[in-house]
């Protein structure tokens, strides 16, 4: 059912003309990327904030009318990437790859009317070092050890200075986790008591993006208004209303009835049901999403590599993709997104084989059977049926699973505690790079290494691959990383879910980003 405050029918429908209405599973819980990466929050980021650089866009080869970031390796382009300037209008990387200088765009104003300068970029990165939130990963993966390595070279000039070359130096300027803040506004509202404006940015924005926040009522709706003084092309959608509709069936009904423009994160069977409707369009594109099982290497029985391999051999991939995802997913064949450069599917060796799985359990000394627990997210409607299929399959090889249904509010807390023997995880590494992806999930010191996987060889190879600009050398190193990871099986590899969008047929401009978020400024009515 819909929240009573939202109403139904005509009262709910406000999607005409230049207003975009989105039925979302949740409103933004926080607006500060240092501490909140929930679905509603990341959609807000791309509207409220601006970035130093962006990828060029190309047509999606599998979805007519859809654009996507061009993240391919381009040997004929500077730094082998198809990039365009945003807050930085020009840039240069030194031949040794240790220094990047940026010429910043002049005349850009924030949603508070303050002019953009290099001090905003400097303050933004200083904030990461001081708050020690998710920004610590952003600095670490770049090889930044001190805020002093980011230097103001003038009002509209700035440099990043590294101890070693790093192929992510420009890519990280596109990452959704690295928006640029209005330092002047943040200093004014934070003062000495809150120098990094944590309390303010939790509920408000101070950025240079195309929209400003007009209203945020958590649990009900968020409203965004296009800025008349935005420096770039003004958004066609002048007002965006993101309404919280927790139930997928309710979001489906609202779109089906024409009350909203977009229904987010519908179940695969609902997407299929919409395909026959002329007033609705369904887009499905290959994405950076991955869903897997964290096999906790510090908890019995998953401290044994042969048990982890056996579980992989008993995952009924084809049945999951066919009956749960209705084809809106592909087999996960690598420990990184298959759309990313250097992803290698040749090391996947876990096609469904119960006999081979049983033999591995015998080898591990648990051939007579074992019991363990699989935890899943009650807020994700696909996880319970996947868990049931896996439970049935593992029972055939002597592994008895107890299924633990965790409320959505505590599921991620349990993931981060790393105390469950086996738990689902759905995620995506936002920077399209093998070093970023493998560092994030498998480096022994990474905060997202939820499977407690430790390999000194893998750590070394990941680090070496992040310290060279030579793509041939990087390719060989990350081939070895992927080979080792697939053999060590720290995950139960399941699927690459597609990014799907259910929208009114007359809504145009959908663009896919590797951060799996919407950017309201892309949309217009056709």
Mean pLDDT check: name the lowest of 1-10, 128-137, 176-185, 500-509.
Answer: 1-10
d(CA 263, CA 502): 6
Confidence category of residue 14, pLDDT binned at 50, 70, 90: very low
The model's pTM: 0.93
Mean pLDDT, rounded, of the chain: 95
288's tokens: 């950076």
Confidence category of residue 456, pLDDT binned at 50, 70, 90: very high
**Nearest to 266, CA basis, from 215, 325, 327, 333:** 325
Q: Tokens 């992989």 identify what position? A: 312
Q: Are strands 99-104 and 88-93 parallel, antiparallel or unpaired?
A: antiparallel
- SS3 category, 83: strand
> Which whole number is the average pLDDT over 140-148?
95
* Size (the chain), residues: 526
> Which whole number is the average pLDDT over 183-206?
97
Spatial strand order in the sheet of 211-217: 211-217, 221-226, 239-244, 19-24, 262-263, 499-504, 280-285
Q: In the predicted model, is pLDDT for residue 27 greater than 80?
A: yes
Q: Cβ(265)–Cβ(39) under 8 Å?
A: yes
Per residue in 261-291, pLDDT (tens digit) is 999 999 999 999 999 999 999 999 999 999 9
Confidence category of residue 6, pLDDT binned at 50, 70, 90: very low
Question: What is the dihedral angle through the alpha carbons of 340, 265, 510, 225, rounded to the nearest 10 degrees?
Answer: -120
Distances (CA, A) of 26 to 7, 23, 264, 521: 17, 9, 10, 20
> Which whole number is the average pLDDT over 33-42?
86
- SS3 category, 145: coil
pLDDT of residue 13: 46
**N- to C-terminal Cα separation, the chain:** 31
pLDDT of residue 401: 98
The share of the chain scoring above pLDDT 90, in percent, equals 92
pLDDT of residue 16: 60
- SS3 category, 346: helix
Burial 443-452 (b: 16+ CB within 10 A, else e): beebebbbbb
Per residue in 90-99, pLDDT (tens digit) is 999 999 999 9
pLDDT of residue 39: 79
63's tokens: 């979805």
- Does 350 sit behind a cis peptide bond, omega within 30 degrees of 0 on the bond before it? no
Per residue in 293-352, pLDDT (tens digit) is 999 999 999 999 999 999 999 999 999 999 999 999 999 999 999 999 999 999 999 999
Q: In the predicted model, is pLDDT for residue 2 greater than 50?
A: no
Contacts of 180 (CB under 8 A, 6+ apart): 49, 50, 51, 52, 87, 116, 120, 121, 124, 207, 208
> Which whole number is the average pLDDT over 222-230?
98
Phi-psi label, residue 382: left if phi above 0, alpha if psi -120 to 50, beta otherwise: alpha
Confidence category of residue 11, pLDDT binned at 50, 70, 90: very low
d(CA 485, CA 334): 9
Q: Tokens 């049901």 identify what position? A: 273
361's tokens: 């359990």
d(CA 99, CA 436): 19
Phi/psi at 161 (5° precision): -125, 115
Q: In the predicted model, is pLDDT for residue 1 greater than 60?
A: no
pLDDT of residue 518: 96
492 forms beta bridges with 293
């Amino acid at each position: 059912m819909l929240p009573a405050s939202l109403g139904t029918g005509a009262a709910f429908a406000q999607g005409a003309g230049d207003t975009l209405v989105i039925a979302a599973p949740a409103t933004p819980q926080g607006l500060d990327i240092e501490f909140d990466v929930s679905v509603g929050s990341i959609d807000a980021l791309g509207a409220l904030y601006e970035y130093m650089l962006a990828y060029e866009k190309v047509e999606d080869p599998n979805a007519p009318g859809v654009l996507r970031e061009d993240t391919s390796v381009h040997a004929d382009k500077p730094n082998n990437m198809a990039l365009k300037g945003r807050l930085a209008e020009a840039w240069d990387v030194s031949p040794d790859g240790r220094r990047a200088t940026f010429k910043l765009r002049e005349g850009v104003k924030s949603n508070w009317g303050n002019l953009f300068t290099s001090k905003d970029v400097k303050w933004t990165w200083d904030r990461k070092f001081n708050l020690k939130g998710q920004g610590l990963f952003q600095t670490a993966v770049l090889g930044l050890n001190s805020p002093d390595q980011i230097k103001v070279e003038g009002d509209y000039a700035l440099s990043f200075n590294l101890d070693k070359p790093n192929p992510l130096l420009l890519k990280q300027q596109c990452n959704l986790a690295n928006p640029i803040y209005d330092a002047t506004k943040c200093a004014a509202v934070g003062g000495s008591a809150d120098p990094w404006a944590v309390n303010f940015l939790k509920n408000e924005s101070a950025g240079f993006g195309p929209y400003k926040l007009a209203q945020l009522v958590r649990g009900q709706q968020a409203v965004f208004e296009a800025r008349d003084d935005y420096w770039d092309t003004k958004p066609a959608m002048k007002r965006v209303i993101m309404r919280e509709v927790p139930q997928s069936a309710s979001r489906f009904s609202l779109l089906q009835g024409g009350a909203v423009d977009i229904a987010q994160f519908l179940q695969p069977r609902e997407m299929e049901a919409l395909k026959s409707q002329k007033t609705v369009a369904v887009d499905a594109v290959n994405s950076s999403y991955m869903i897997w099982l964290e096999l906790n290497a510090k908890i019995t029985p998953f401290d044994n590599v042969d048990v982890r391999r056996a579980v992989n051999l008993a995952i009924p991939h084809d049945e999951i993709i066919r009956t749960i995802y209705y084809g809106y997913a592909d087999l996960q064949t690598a420990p990184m997104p298959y759309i990313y450069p250097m992803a290698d599917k040749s090391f996947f060796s876990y096609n469904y084989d119960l006999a081979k799985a049983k033999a591995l359990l015998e080898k591990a000394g648990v051939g007579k059977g074992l019991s363990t627990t699989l935890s899943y997210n009650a807020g994700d409607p696909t996880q319970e049926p996947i868990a049931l299929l896996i439970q049935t399959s593992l029972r055939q090889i002597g592994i008895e699973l107890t299924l633990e249904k965790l409320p959505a509010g505590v599921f991620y807390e349990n993931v981060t505690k790393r105390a469950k023997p086996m738990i689902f995880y759905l995620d995506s590494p936002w920077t399209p790079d093998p070093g970023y992806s493998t560092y994030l999930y498998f480096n022994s010191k990474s905060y997202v290494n939820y499977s407690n996987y430790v390999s000194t060889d893998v750590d070394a190879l990941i680090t070496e691959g992040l310290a060279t600009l030579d793509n041939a050398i990087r390719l060989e190193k990350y081939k070895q990383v992927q080979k080792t990871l697939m053999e060590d099986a720290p995950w139960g590899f399941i699927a690459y879910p597609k990014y799907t969008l259910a929208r009114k047929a007359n809504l145009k401009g959908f663009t896919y980003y590797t951060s799996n978020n919407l950017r309201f400024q892309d949309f217009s009515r056709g």
